[in-house]
Structure formats: structure tokens, C-alpha cells
Amino acid sequence: MAVITYREALNHALREELQRDDNVMLMGEDIGVFDGSFKVTQGLYKEFGEKRVKDTPISEDTIVGAGVGAALAGLRPVVEIMTINFSLLATDQVVNHAAKIRYMFGGHATVPMVIRMPGGGGHQLGAQHSQSLEVWYANIPGLVVVAPATPADAKGLLKTSIRDDNPVVFIENEGLYNTKGEVPEGELLTPLGQADVKRQGKDVSLVSHSRMVLLCLEAAEELAKEGIEAEVVDLRSLRPLDAATLRKSIEKTNHAVVVEEGWGSYGITAETAATIYEAAFDFLDAPLVRISGVEVPMPYAKRMEQACIPTVQQIVAGAKKTLGKAA
């Protein structure tokens, strides 16, 4: 297996799908000549030309709107929003159009498009550019929302998303682009709606998505030193959420810590916690622990910013808390 970065994995997925299907095309700000703000589309403009890889004006509403139109007309557009923060300008297109059209046309029309965008904080980009807004989209029926944590899942999920007939909000994380991981050779199609157990354990389930999965894996290492076997569950898909995998994990461990980088109120952890209570109440041995970002606009100052994002130590402490062990 090749070890490549998350960025390269996404690039490979796009290239393979552009090669496979002539209807696949990319749109976004600076994704062509400039190779993308985060270089995810590197080399694709050169390889596939401006008909398949289109630079757009700085107008998120237009980018997504054009994508919805292209999808309705039979193409399979992959649009890039530079970061999730800017996608707020396109919410009408995402929520009122992309998500609704198939339902409102009685299934006669589909919107097979992917909207890619990175979220997350930790890079001193200020309150407006450091958000984790997954839950805004995960709340909307009609959308599929995925948030891969590893290069392999980034590649496998992006390819599946492009082939899916639903609009998929594909959430990346700025802190993940340079992370490396093994990616299987050959065709890689990861199913939507399935969580993945990234590490087996029997004592406590650490449940998260995107970059927080890496922190959970580190926390599991720490806990292992103290004889606590943590299982790390990567949600991967936020909508639909994989209740079956959660149930299976809780049946085994009887304890859960749910973690997200974003704000917890009405957040992914709130939904995950509720799902666990509904699906596995009888298997819980203690109240679960929620860990999420501090509920303030993200500070710019580095130490303040770090204090707002969940840490490995917090996850370790959370696991011990639900296990009733002194931190």
C-alpha cells in the first residue's frame, strides 16, 4: 500500500473519476490555473483542460448554483468552496435547491453533485475562518454529509460521493491535508453511511469524526499505557449516521466518549449521544461524556485558540471519567 497525504488522496480520487467519467467536472475559486487554495486540484487543470476544471468568480452562491444546474442537466459536478466558512453564502443553493429538488420533483430529477469544503480551526485564522459547521448541513434531509479522517477514507468516500446520485456535502479539514496514511492500490470505493472502527478495544468507545479521530487514536494509545483498551469509532458519514456500528461498539464497551472539534450544543456529539441512548441504552454502564470545542467565536491568539479545541488529554480524562477511574 502506498503512503500518501490526505491532499494527495483527494487529488487521486478526483483524477480517477475525471478519467473514468466524462460527465465529472470540477468548479471552484482558483482550482484551475492556481491548482487550488489547498492544492487539492493540483495538475488537474493542466491534464483535463478548462472545460472539465473551471475557475469561477468569487461568488459561492453562484458556484453551487451553477453546480446544481449542471447536475440537473446531467453532469456530475464537484464544486469546491474554499472553506466551510464561506459556504454560508451558498446555503440557499445547498439547502433550498440541492437538497430539495429530488424530493420536490417526485424523483424525476436528481442532483448528483459533490460540494467539497474544508473546515476546522487551529491555524490562527480568526473567528470567521476557523469554524466546524458540519452540523448545519447534517441537519438537512436530502443531503448526504461525510467527513473523512484518513487519506484512505478521503479517497474512497470522495469517489463514492461523486458516483452517488444525491448531493453530497464533503467536509475536509485544513489540519488533515498534510497527514499521511496508507491507501490501498486500485479502485477504492468506501460506502456512504458507514462508520468505521479505527481501533478495536473493549473498555470504552471514543466516537468522533474528521481530525478528532486522530486525537482519539492518540488518546487510545495513552489509555493503553494504563491498561484501558479504548475502541475508536470514526463516524465518517454524519448523515446518515451509522447507528448500527455505534450500537455494536457500545454493546462491547458499555462506555462512550463522544468528541467533536466544533461546538457541542445541538452538535454532532449531541446527535451521536442521542443515537447511543436510543440504540444502546441497555448497554450503557455510565453516563457518556461529551467533549467539544469551547462555545465562543474562535480567538485569534494562539494559546487561546488551542484552549478552545479539544485535546488528547481531555479525551483521556473523559474516558477515565465515564469509567469511574480517577484522572
Partner 1 sequence: MPRLSDTMTQGTVSKWLKQQGDEVKKGEPIVEIETDKANIELEAYASGKLARIVLKEGESAPVGDLIGEIALPGEAPAPGAAEGRAGGRTGGSEAPSAPTTTAEHEGAAVSATDAKQPEPTQQQAEAGAQGTLTQPAAADEGSEHDGQGLRASPMARRLARELGVDLASIKGSGPLGRIQKEDVEAAAKAPAAPSAKPVETALAAADVEMVPLSRMQQTIARRMVEAKSQVPHFYVSMEIDMDRAVADLDELNEGVAKEELVTINDLIIRACALTLRDYPDVNSFYQDGKLIRNHRVNVGFAVAIQGGLIEPVIRDADQKNLRELAAESKRLARKMREGKAELSDYEGGTFSISNLGMYGVSEFSAIINPPHSAILAMGAVQDRAVVVNGQLAVGKRCTLTLSADHRVFYGATAAEFLRAVKHRLEKPLSLFV
Query: Whole-angstrom Cα distance, residue 127 to residue 298?
Result: 4
Q: Which of the stretches 9-17, 98-106, 275-283, 306-314 binds partner 1 when contact is defined by CB under 8 A?
A: 275-283
Query: Least distance in Å: CB of 215 to partner 1?
Result: 19
| Cβ neighbours around 305 below 10 Å, total | 20
In terms of CB distance, is 52 or 255 closer to partner 1?
255
| Cβ neighbours around 70 below 10 Å, total | 20
Residue 60: active-site member? yes
Our finding on whether 286 is near partner 1 (CB under 8 A) is yes
Element (H, E) at 237: strand 237-239
Query: Whole-angstrom Cα distance, residue 295 to residue 266?
Result: 12
Binding mask 139-178 for partner 1 (x = CB under 8 A): ----------------------------------------
Q: Which of the stretches 22-30, 67-75, 83-91, 285-293 binds partner 1 when contact is defined by CB under 8 A?
A: 285-293
Our finding on whether 280 is near partner 1 (CB under 8 A) is yes
Q: Which residue from 185, 237, 241, 233 is spatially nearest to 212, judged by alpha carbons?
A: 233
Our finding on whether 285 is near partner 1 (CB under 8 A) is yes
Our finding on whether 90 is near partner 1 (CB under 8 A) is no
Our finding on whether 279 is near partner 1 (CB under 8 A) is yes
Kindly list the distances between the CA atom of residue 174 and the CA atoms of 83, 121, 125, 241, in Å, as whole numbers in the listed order: 9, 8, 11, 23
Task: Give rounded-to-5 percent helix, strand, coil for the chain.
Answer: 40, 20, 40
Our finding on whether 273 is near partner 1 (CB under 8 A) is yes
Angle at CA of residue 239, ends 160 and 195, nearest 5°: 70
Query: Least distance in Å: CB of 308 to partner 1?
Result: 18
Our finding on whether 283 is near partner 1 (CB under 8 A) is yes
Q: Which of helix, strand or coil describes residue 147? A: coil
Residue 295: active-site member? no
In total, the chain counts a number of residues equal to 327
> Among residue numbers 232 through 271, which ones bind partner 1 (CB under 8 A)?
254, 270
Q: Which of helix, strand or coil describes residue 21? A: coil
Q: Which residue from 20, 15, 22, 41 is spatially nearest to 30, judged by alpha carbons?
A: 41
Our finding on whether 227 is near partner 1 (CB under 8 A) is no
Q: Contact, 81 vs 40, CB < 8 A?
A: no
Query: Least distance in Å: CB of 290 to partner 1?
Result: 5
| From 129, 172, 255, 260, the catalytic residue | 129
Pairing relationship of beta strands 204-208 and 230-234 according to DSSP bridges: parallel
> Could you tell me how many residues of this chain bind partner 1 (CB under 8 A)?
19
In terms of CB distance, is 174 or 203 closer to partner 1?
203
Element (H, E) at 181: strand 180-183
Contact residues for 151 (Cβ-Cβ < 8 A; gap 6+): 4, 5, 6, 8, 9, 179, 180, 181, 182, 183
Our finding on whether 86 is near partner 1 (CB under 8 A) is no
Query: Least distance in Å: CB of 264 to partner 1?
Result: 9
Binding residue (CB under 8 A) for partner 1 from 66, 284, 312, 317: 284
Our finding on whether 277 is near partner 1 (CB under 8 A) is yes
Our finding on whether 274 is near partner 1 (CB under 8 A) is yes
Query: Least distance in Å: CB of 280 to partner 1?
Result: 7
Query: Least distance in Å: CB of 277 to partner 1?
Result: 5
| From 60, 80, 231, 260, the catalytic residue | 60
Catalytic residues: 60, 129
Binding residues for partner 1, per CB under 8 A? 254, 270, 273-274, 277-290, 324
